[in-house]
């Protein structure tokens, strides 16, 4: 029998079924499912042919969009295509580990995220976009979708109201938030994982939020936004009903999270997120020509984020928002009009854009609430008994709550 | 000589029709295409050519200067400004009615207007709670209406005679782009939402499609099969990628694919790229091939069935923000203006915005065979 060339490179797609010889590698290599590279080379024959040399000529069909004919006939390979999507970006040149373990898939997924994020950052791509590591997954929390038109409209509105500075401030804020979230995603480690994975796997469609400040411009512009709860509702704070009233005591709990990049606030996640937080690292901006730089912003943001992370009190986030915030507007934005004790929120200046920056955090906080519903329960949804159980030192058998504990009770 | 009607080349000797600047070193028109006269003063958000029912070719463009302009494009390449009307906010969407007598324009002032070209009167026909991003005319067998998609997360259908919508559908998120080819309509929203509607009888949602792309949706265009029935759509994202989704086709999952475009490899570090958004796309009405324009200032022509790139243009010095074909596919119009892809720092209000016209009859013929 001829020796299988692909197997020698570690890339044989047929594995056991291969008609060629796989020298000496029953255990080591035989179980390995086919990598995507083989199918890519096959596909390149009928791939996109560029008439000009200007671009990378062959457009490789992005592996994750094709559940391809090559994979069609074999069961195990289906899963491998699934996991290949995690390594994303169409350059799935690496051999797969055995597909049986779900962990491997996760690992691939996370690696894929890291890769995607690095490319996102360095390529000058539009920042304010939702991002999903796999097409079947809901978008990762912490990124808001703002289209260039929405951003530009904000610019024009503020220009005409002579309020350009607040636009600039808010943009800087958005950029800082984005950068922080990107940095978090880049340093995937155990705790981040814990935070990310439920997010990724639970399929909760955090569709409600993600309202950039674009949509608010109608209300924002020229009007004092205070107190019109109607307009707040239009912030698509869809999950808010349970959310807003429940947190009247410490709305900041959920409010801070957006800044922290949608990492669930309590538990190990926070301790992980703080180091990853990297505020004040005036980041890279290797995004070459993209001048959404943050020299000012990092100072700005860091002032906000320097507060003790475990205190889930909103001050870090609140402080960050302070200059940009309007008064009651922001409060209304967080769904608890009047109950805000944050001094930050009571600054009356710059109503318009200040309040508009809320939505940028709102969507994310909304997202958090979605995640948090999965990981934690808001206090008001627990019965008295459950609350007692959580508060006591030990659980009593027979009374162990089935719901996860509320965020407030988690101490690190 | 009728340049637009025949397959003869033009543009190389286009000096008589206003391609000034080609002698200079600037790259505002590297492809030496015909420049439209009196182009808008600010970025062009949308372009649309008149339908076949109108003799001749008329182009309308909506811009961020709050105006909509209409030109007659003559066969010799000359463009004659005909009319314009003003909105209270930037115009994000334009489309023609099927008989070519009216133009519908959608604006950030949250209204859509119907502009009667004969009388040059524009009346408001739609109202939303947020800027309207897309406007399309639907002509069904038993009804006619205007479909508007807005950032207020609704899709509304308007009979132009009434101030209330005949139908309003809820979207999961803000509408970013849409396309209508009767009886199919596709709407792409924020957070990678993608919804397909069928328009027979009355518009109704058919299904939500999982976007094959990982990032924000930017533009969408429906393509037709060889019987001129819509059977899928192409979706472009900010990430320099386009996904083709086939619908109503037995192997739809297998046939759907994505590819990268509008990216440039950096000279210094191999492997890293500049990634640009795909700002607009349009299918050639006859050949079914695809034209895409991006923030990198280039346009590309693609053959989706042969999976080949037909042409890449030279980069313009500004992003290309919109594109469209005329009704018979002879003219490809593209707009060179800033699309905000790099934020406000790169915005120069004094910069001239251009609309270029190119003879598209030859270049978009599909490759034969694979």
* Beta bridge partner(s), residue B204: B198
Query: Nearest by CB to A289, which of B90, B152, B342?
Result: B342
Q: B208 versus A278: which is more confidently predicted?
A: B208
Q: Do A291 and B345 touch (CB under 8 A)?
A: yes
Q: B320 versus A114: which is more confidently predicted?
A: B320
Question: Percent of chain B, pLDDT > 70?
Answer: 89
B305 touches chain A (CB under 8 A): no
Largest CA distance in chain A: 82
Rounded (5°) CA angle A351-A357-A363: 135
How far, in Å, are A148, A243, A383, A389, A407 from residue A403 at the CA level? 41, 17, 10, 11, 12
Is pLDDT of B320 > 90? yes
B366 touches chain A (CB under 8 A): no
Query: Nearest by CB to A132, which of B153, B214, B274?
Result: B214
In this prediction, the residues of chain A whose per-residue pLDDT falls under 50 are 27-100, 202-373
Instruction: Give the contacts of A106 (CB within 8 A, at least 6 positions apart).
Output: A193, A197
Q: Is the dihedral of CA A337, A339, A345, A346 positive or negative?
A: positive
B263 touches chain A (CB under 8 A): yes
Closest residue, chain A, to B211 (C-alpha): A135
- Summarised one tens digit per residue, pLDDT across range B136-183 is 999 998 899 999 999 999 999 999 888 899 999 999 999 999 999 988
A167 touches chain B (CB under 8 A): yes
Is pLDDT of B59 > 80? yes
Give the gap in angstroms from C-alpha A71 to the nearest C-alpha of chain B.
11
Cis peptide before B183 (omega within 30 of 0): yes
A148 in Cβ contact with B340 (< 8 Å): yes
Residue of A50, A58, A129, A132 for testing the chain B interface, max B β-carbons within 10 Å = A129
Q: Do A155 and B347 touch (CB under 8 A)?
A: yes
Please state whether beta strands B217-224 and B204-208 pair in parallel, antiparallel, or not at all (unpaired). Answer: unpaired
Gap between the Cα atoms of B45 and B340, Å rounded: 11
A50 touches chain B (CB under 8 A): yes
Place of tokens 């690992």: A107
Instruction: Give the contacts of A132 (CB within 8 A, at least 6 positions apart).
Output: A138, A139, A140, B192, B214
- Summarised one tens digit per residue, pLDDT across range A295-324 is 333 333 333 333 333 333 333 333 333 333
B192 touches chain A (CB under 8 A): yes
**Check: complex ipTM more than 0.85:** yes
Place of tokens 């671009």: A55
**What is residue B64's predicted lDDT score, i.e. its pLDDT?**
93
Gap between the Cα atoms of B203 and B183, Å rounded: 9
Nearest to A127 by CA among A169, A173, A167: A173
Give the gap in angstroms from C-alpha B322 to the nearest C-alpha of chain A.
13
Gap between the Cα atoms of B41 and B43, Å rounded: 7
Nearest to A257 by CA among A105, A394, A362: A362
List of chain B residues whose C-beta atoms are within 8 Å of the C-beta of residue A207 = 172-173, 191, 193
Secondary element (H or E) of residue A198: helix A190-201
B299 in Cβ contact with B278 (< 8 Å): no
Gap between the Cα atoms of B164 and B167, Å rounded: 8
A62 touches chain B (CB under 8 A): yes
A92 in Cβ contact with A109 (< 8 Å): no
**What is residue A201's predicted lDDT score, i.e. its pLDDT?**
52
**In angstroms, what is the C-alpha Rg of chain A?**
24
Instruction: Give the contacts of B148 (CB within 8 A, at least 6 positions apart).
Output: B93, B106, B112, B126, B128, B132, B134, B135, B155, B156, B157, B158
Query: Nearest by CB to B309, which of A49, A62, A88?
Result: A49
Nearest to B230 by CA among B178, B280, B193, B180: B180
Give the gap in angstroms from C-alpha B286 to the nearest C-alpha of chain A.
22
CA B351 to chain centre: 22
User: How many Cα atoms are found within 13 Å in the side-chain-facing hemisphere of A55?
Assistant: 29
Q: Do B275 and A52 touch (CB under 8 A)?
A: no
Largest CA distance in chain B: 60
List of chain B residues whose C-beta atoms are within 8 Å of the C-beta of residue A88 = 214
Is pLDDT of B222 > 70? yes
List of chain A residues whose C-beta atoms are within 8 Å of the C-beta of residue B259 = 48, 59-62
Give the gap in angstroms from C-alpha A335 to the nearest C-alpha of chain B.
20
Gap between the Cα atoms of A276 and A114, Å rounded: 14
Q: Is B191 exposed, middle or buried (0-12, 13-18, 19+ CB in 10 A)?
A: buried
Question: Percent of chain B, pLDDT > 90?
Answer: 57
Gap between the Cα atoms of A166 and A355, Å rounded: 10
Q: In what order do the strands lie in the sheet with B121-127?
A: B91-96, B102-107, B111-116, B121-127
Cβ atoms within 10 Å, residue A337: 17
Gap between the Cα atoms of B309 and B300, Å rounded: 7
A71 touches chain B (CB under 8 A): no
**What is residue B327's predicted lDDT score, i.e. its pLDDT?**
92
Is pLDDT of B106 > 80? yes
Least reliable range by pLDDT among A167-181, B37-51, B248-262: B248-262
Give the gap in angstroms from C-alpha A397 to the nearest C-alpha of chain B.
44
Cβ atoms within 10 Å, residue A252: 25
- The confidence band for B254, taking pLDDT boundaries of 50, 70 and 90, is low
Q: Do B216 and A211 touch (CB under 8 A)?
A: no
Is pLDDT of B200 > 50? yes
Gap between the Cα atoms of B188 and B175, Å rounded: 6
Q: Is the dihedral of CA A361, A362, A368, A372 positive or negative?
A: positive
Nearest to B45 by CA among B127, B152, B132, B156: B132
Gap between the Cα atoms of B24 and A6, Å rounded: 54
Query: Nearest by CB to B254, which of A68, A88, A149?
Result: A68
Q: Is B247 exposed, middle or buried (0-12, 13-18, 19+ CB in 10 A)?
A: middle
Give the pair of three-digit tokens for residue A127: 């920042």
List of chain B residues whose C-beta atoms are within 8 Å of the C-beta of residue A141 = none
Q: Do A119 and B129 touch (CB under 8 A)?
A: no
Gap between the Cα atoms of A379 and A213, Å rounded: 30
Give the pair of three-digit tokens for residue A174: 């958005």
List of chain A residues whose C-beta atoms are within 8 Å of the C-beta of residue B214 = 88, 116, 131-133, 135
Gap between the Cα atoms of B352 and B362, Å rounded: 29
A85 in Cβ contact with B210 (< 8 Å): no
**What is residue A394's predicted lDDT score, i.e. its pLDDT?**
76
A116 touches chain B (CB under 8 A): yes
Mean pLDDT, range B115-135, rounded to an integer: 93
- The full DSSP string for A265-313 is SSTHHHHHHHHHH-TT------STT-----HHHHHHHHHHHTS-SSS--
b (16+ CB within 10 A) / e for A386-406: bbebbeeeeeeeeeebeeebb
Q: Do B275 and A125 touch (CB under 8 A)?
A: yes
A145 touches chain B (CB under 8 A): yes
Rounded (5°) CA angle A348-A353-A357: 100
Q: Do B343 and A66 touch (CB under 8 A)?
A: no
Give the pair of three-digit tokens for residue A394: 């030990």
Is pLDDT of B123 > 70? yes
């Amino acid at each position: 029998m001829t020796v299988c060339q692909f197997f020698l490179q570690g890339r044989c797609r047929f594995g056991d079924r291969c008609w060629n010889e796989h020298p000496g590698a029953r255990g080591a290599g035989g179980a390995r499912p086919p990598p995507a590279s083989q199918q890519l080379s096959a596909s390149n024959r009928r791939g996109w042919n560029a008439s000009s040399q200007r671009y990378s000529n062959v457009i490789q069909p992005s592996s994750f969009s094709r559940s391809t004919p090559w994979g069609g006939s074999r069961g195990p390979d289906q899963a491998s295509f699934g996991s290949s999507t995690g390594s994303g970006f169409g350059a799935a040149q690496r051999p797969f580990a055995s597909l049986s373990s779900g962990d491997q898939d996760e690992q691939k997924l996370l690696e894929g995220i890291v890769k995607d994020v690095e490319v996102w950052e360095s390529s000058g791509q539009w920042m304010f976009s939702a991002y999903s590591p796999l097409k079947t997954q809901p978008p990762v929390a912490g990124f808001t979708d703002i289209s260039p038109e929405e951003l530009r409209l904000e610019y024009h509105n503020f220009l005409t109201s002579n309020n350009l500075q607040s636009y600039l401030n808010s943009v800087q804020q958005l950029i800082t938030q984005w950068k922080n979230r990107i940095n978090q995603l880049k340093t995937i480690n155990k705790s981040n994982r814990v935070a990310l994975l439920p997010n990724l796997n639970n399929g909760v469609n955090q569709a409600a939020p993600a309202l950039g400040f674009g949509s608010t411009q109608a209300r924002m512009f020229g009007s004092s936004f205070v107190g019109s709860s109607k307009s707040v509702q239009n912030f698509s704070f869809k999950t808010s009903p349970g959310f807003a009233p429940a947190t009247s005591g410490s709305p900041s709990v959920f409010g801070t999270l957006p800044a922290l990049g949608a990492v669930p606030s309590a538990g190990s996640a926070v301790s992980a997120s703080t180091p990853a937080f990297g505020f004040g690292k005036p980041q890279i901006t290797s995004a070459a020509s993209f001048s959404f730089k943050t020299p000012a912003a990092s100072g700005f943001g860091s002032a906000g984020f320097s507060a003790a992370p475990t205190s889930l009190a909103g001050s870090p986030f609140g402080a960050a928002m302070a200059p940009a915030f309007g008064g009651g507007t922001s409060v209304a934005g967080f769904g608890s009009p009047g109950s805000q004790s944050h001094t930050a929120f009571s600054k009356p200046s710059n109503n318009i854009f200040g309040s508009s920056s809320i939505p940028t955090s709102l969507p994310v906080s909304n997202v958090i609430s979605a995640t948090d519903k999965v990981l934690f329960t808001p206090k008001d949804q627990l019965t008295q008994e459950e609350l007692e159980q959580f508060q006591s030192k030990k659980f009593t058998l027979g009374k162990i709550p089935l719901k996860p504990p509320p965020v407030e009770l988690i101490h690190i | 000589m009728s340049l637009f009607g025949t397959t003869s080349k033009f543009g190389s000797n286009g000096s008589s029709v206003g391609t000034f600047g080609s002698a200079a070193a600037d790259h505002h028109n590297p492809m030496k295409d015909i420049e439209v006269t009196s182009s808008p003063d600010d970025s062009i958000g949308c372009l649309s050519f008149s339908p076949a029912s109108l003799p001749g070719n008329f182009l309308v463009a909506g811009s961020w200067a709050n105006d909509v302009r209409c030109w007659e494009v003559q066969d010799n390449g000359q463009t004659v400004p005909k009319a314009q009307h003003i909105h209270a906010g930037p115009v994000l969407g334009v489309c023609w009615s099927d008989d070519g007598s009216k133009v519908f324009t959608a604006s950030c002032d949250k209204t859509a207007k119907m502009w009667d070209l004969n009388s040059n009167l524009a009346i408001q026909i739609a109202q939303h709670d947020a800027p309207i991003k897309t406007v399309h005319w639907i002509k069904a067998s038993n009804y006619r209406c205007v479909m508007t998609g807005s950032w207020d997360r609704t899709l509304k259908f308007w009979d132009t005679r009434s101030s209330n919508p005949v139908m309003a559908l809820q979207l999961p998120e803000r509408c970013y782009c849409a396309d209508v080819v009767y009886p199919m309509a596709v709407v792409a929203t924020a957070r990678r939402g993608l919804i397909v509607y069928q328009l027979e009888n009355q518009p109704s949602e058919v299904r939500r499609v999982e976007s094959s792309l990982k990032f924000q949706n930017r533009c969408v265009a429906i393509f037709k099969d060889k019987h001129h029935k819509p059977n899928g759509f192409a979706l472009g994202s900010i990430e320099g990628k386009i996904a083709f989704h086939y619908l109503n086709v037995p192997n739809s999952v297998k046939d759907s694919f994505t590819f990268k475009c509008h990216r440039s490899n950096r000279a210094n570090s191999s492997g890293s790229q500049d990634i640009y958004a795909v700002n607009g796309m349009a299918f050639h009405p006859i050949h079914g091939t695809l034209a895409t324009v991006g923030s990198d200032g280039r346009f590309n022509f693609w053959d989706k069935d042969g999976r080949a790139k037909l042409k890449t243009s030279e980069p313009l010095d500004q992003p290309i923000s919109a594109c469209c074909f005329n009704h018979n596919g002879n003219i490809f119009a593209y707009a060179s203006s800033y699309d905000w892809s790099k934020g406000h720092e790169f915005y120069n209000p004094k910069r001239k915005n251009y609309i270029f016209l190119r003879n598209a009859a030859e270049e978009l013929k599909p490759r034969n065979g694979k």
